[in-house]
């Protein structure tokens, strides 16, 4: 570490993240303030069918006031295994269950101010559940879009898919499934 923590303030304990302000001192004796959004992390799923199609969700995102295409994803519960979270979110948001889940990577979304780490999984052997989606309150507007992975990758290049976790997940799935 290149600093000493002098004081930590928790300004907000939220449902999605906590806001922390750290007062630090560098070895030079200069002080600074670091604002951190402390987030429990989450899991992201790339649902892939045998024919090369993937399943995206289309949903409204309040912070940007837009409807965007995304991969199914969700926040980790306390002490929850990311794979368990991935399976739960896949079933809730899409109404599908995977017979096989393969971890592709984990990455920090915005390490300059946020602790959020996302774990990305490739889901194969998809089976539709008889009851369909099991959406939470606020997710009622989620709709599904099945399309070939190549088309989804083209959508990224044309600015039609703008969500970071979705871009990372689709590119890694393309590499894993040998689809350019």
Q: Is 91 a catalytic residue?
A: no
Pairing assessment for the beta strands 117-128 and 42-47 based on DSSP bridges: parallel
> Could you say which of 93, 137, 139, 160 is catalytic?
137
Closest CA to 54 of 96, 92, 106, 86: 96
| Cα dihedral sign, 4-22-76-107 | negative
Rg (C-alpha) for the chain, rounded Å, is 19
DSSP state of 14: -
Catalytic residues: 137
């Amino acid at each position: 570490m290149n600093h000493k923590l002098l004081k930590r303030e928790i300004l907000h304990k939220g449902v999605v993240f906590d806001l922390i302000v750290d007062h630090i001192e560098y070895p030079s004796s200069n002080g600074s303030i670091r604002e951190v959004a402390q987030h429990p992390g989450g899991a992201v799923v790339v649902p892939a069918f045998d024919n090369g199609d993937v399943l995206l969700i289309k949903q409204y995102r309040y912070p940007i006031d837009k409807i965007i295409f995304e991969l199914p994803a969700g926040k980790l519960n306390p002490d929850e295994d990311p794979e368990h979270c991935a399976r739960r979110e896949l079933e809730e948001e899409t109404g599908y269950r995977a017979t096989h889940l393969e971890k592709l990577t984990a990455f920090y979304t915005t390490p300059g101010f946020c602790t959020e780490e996302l774990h990305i999984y490739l889901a194969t052997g998809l089976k539709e559940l008889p009851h369909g989606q099991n959406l939470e309150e606020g997710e009622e507007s989620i709709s599904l879009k099945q399309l070939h992975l190549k088309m989804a990758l083209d959508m990224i290049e044309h600015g039609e898919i703008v969500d970071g976790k979705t871009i990372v997940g689709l590119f890694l799935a393309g590499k894993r499934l040998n689809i350019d």
